[in-house]
Amino acid sequence: MPAWRTISLWMDQLDEPLVARPSLEQDLDVDVAIIGAGYTGLWTAYYLKRHKPELNIAIVEAQTAGFGASGRNGGWLMGNLLGEDSLLAGLSPPARRASYDLLHGIPDEVASVLEREGIDCDYRKGGVLYCAARYPEQEASLRGYLDSLYAQGLNEADYRWLSPEQLVGQIRIANPYGGIQATHCATINPAKLVRGLARAVERMGVKIYENSPVQQWQSGSLSTAKAAVRCRWLVPAVEGYAVTLAPLGRYQLPVQSLLVATEPLSAATWDEIGLNQGQAFGESSRQVTYGQRSADNRLVFGARGGYQFGGQLRQNFDLTSSEVELRRYLFSELFPQLKNVEITHSWGGNLGMSRRFRPHMLCDTRSGIALSGGYGGEGVGASNLGGRTLADLILERDSELVRQPWVIAQGGLDALKAWEPEPLRWLGYNAIIQSFIHEDQTLANPGSAPWRRKLASRVAGFMEGFMH
């Protein structure tokens, strides 16, 4: 039995035995074959079955349901898409508002499925706090971000400014400069969601085959080392693992994000910190930090990881001491009382980044291939939208889902933008990340001269421009 419990805190906390489902041993003929039992594959199967129960669906998974990012993430279930502002920029104000409402409704849609299917994944809709928490420049950058949201027609019911006093009413950080609260976000235990969804689709008649890596795929079929599946529709749902299914790796590169979890903290410590309504939180540097208070009262905290030359998958997520200590440093800046706390779990995962840094939901009727991905680090909610959207596209249901700007209904994979060849990607990625690290170190040092601070931010902002 593979050591699946070591995948993440969340997988370790499952109170079910992690028994492998059967692998694919015999050839099959199905309506829809899905590669990958993460959220995208499972949500797609779920909504297809809801709309058309007689469909014959098989999911073929390399390891176990939740082995990928879905069993490892930070548990922010957001009503957002990466790059949504640029995706929606061309729409009329009413259409844009309707698209935002669709996105903001994702956590509630997930909650209704959890209720219907009896899935307990510690769902708490406490919103998200983006905190200006480490240096004063963060306040200006968050205020600028809020202005840009309001310029797109969003309002205080969607995102509201929190003064330092209002912020510490929810999260008591050492240096509160202010923050933004968004309501459309819940925190969850990610592994409980993915495992619960897998059981739900099985109850609906979907077959899941585990320990069955797909080696070949093409229009109408896939094959593993032991058997083949023929299908009318094929849905590769492998996100950060696209490099295993050529030519998908041209369009979705694996990048890593890494997390730590503390021991359960005492009630007295949480009285000092707050976060008692399931709020997700992050500090607003370009380190991309994300945290939550877990249902069993740990601090779970993550930050951006790396990119491996050639877009190779990172396989070993035993974090180095410097990877762990960077995350300890970042959360201790917010909560100095946790500086020496015991870290019981550290892990990470591969996530999928598209060249346009925004997701795509694609359906090609001619080849019978449909896919949703490129969520970046924001796929917990987006994958639910992706599953719903692919189901409507495959079943030719006319809905608002299929008319969104992230939907690609023509051109197949060729409609996606390919990544540049190496070494450009590696050089580019590292130049950008180094500028972010340099900015962070400069701004976090109160002794940095004003001109140095400005220059570091200008350079990082300029480099970030290449990501859009």
Ligand X SMILES: Cc1cc2nc3c(=O)[nH]c(=O)nc-3n(C[C@H](O)[C@H](O)[C@H](O)COP(=O)(O)OP(=O)(O)OC[C@H]3O[C@@H](n4cnc5c(N)ncnc54)[C@H](O)[C@@H]3O)c2cc1C
Both tokens of 387, joined, read 């599953």
Q: Which is nearer to ligand X, 82 or 133 (CB)?
A: 82
The nearest distance, CB 381 to ligand X, in angstroms, is 6
The nearest distance, CB 315 to ligand X, in angstroms, is 12
Both tokens of 114, joined, read 């959890």
The nearest distance, CB 314 to ligand X, in angstroms, is 10
Both tokens of 402, joined, read 């299929």
The nearest distance, CB 242 to ligand X, in angstroms, is 8
Pairing of strands 128-132, 280-283: parallel
Spatial distance between the Cα atoms of 65 and 63, rounded to a whole number of angstroms:
7
* C-alpha 237, offset from chain centre: 14
Alpha helices for 164-298 (secondary structure H): 164-168, 190-203, 267-273
The nearest distance, CB 444 to ligand X, in angstroms, is 23
Spatial distance between the Cα atoms of 228 and 26, rounded to a whole number of angstroms:
7
Q: Which is nearer to ligand X, 75 or 443 (CB)?
A: 75
With CA atoms as reference, report the closest residue to 7 among 72, 70, 86, 95.
72
Q: Which is nearer to ligand X, 83 or 240 (CB)?
A: 240
Instruction: Output the residue with the shortest Cβ distance to ligand X.
Output: 379
Q: Which is nearer to ligand X, 142 or 280 (CB)?
A: 280
The nearest distance, CB 418 to ligand X, in angstroms, is 19
DSSP letter, residue 264: P
The nearest distance, CB 457 to ligand X, in angstroms, is 26
Pairing of strands 228-236, 221-223: antiparallel
Q: Residue length, the chain?
A: 468
The nearest distance, CB 319 to ligand X, in angstroms, is 11
Contact 175, 134 (CB under 8 A): yes
Q: Which is nearer to ligand X, 11 or 443 (CB)?
A: 11
Q: In the chain, how many H helices and how many E strands?
A: 13, 19
Spatial distance between the Cα atoms of 376 and 255, rounded to a whole number of angstroms:
8
Contact 368, 233 (CB under 8 A): yes
With CA atoms as reference, report the closest residue to 189 among 70, 341, 45, 331.
70
Query: What DSSP letter does each residue of 149-195 carry, written as one string?
Result: HHHTT--TTTEEEE-HHHHHTTB--SS--EEEEESSEEE--HHHHHH
The nearest distance, CB 274 to ligand X, in angstroms, is 20
Interface residues with ligand X (CB under 6 A) are: 35-41, 60-63, 67-70, 72-76, 78, 213-214, 237-241, 244-245, 257, 259, 290, 302, 348-351, 373, 375, 377-381, 383
Spatial distance between the Cα atoms of 41 and 91, rounded to a whole number of angstroms:
29
Spatial distance between the Cα atoms of 64 and 20, rounded to a whole number of angstroms:
7
Q: Which is nearer to ligand X, 55 or 77 (CB)?
A: 77
Could you write out the three-class secondary structure of 46-102?
A: HHHHHHCCCCCEEEECCCCCCCCHHHCCCCEEECCCCCHHHHHCCCCHHHHHHHHHH
Contact 341, 265 (CB under 8 A): yes
Q: Which is nearer to ligand X, 12 or 438 (CB)?
A: 12
Q: Which is nearer to ligand X, 62 or 275 (CB)?
A: 62
Q: Which is nearer to ligand X, 245 or 334 (CB)?
A: 245
Q: Which is nearer to ligand X, 154 or 242 (CB)?
A: 242
The nearest distance, CB 229 to ligand X, in angstroms, is 11
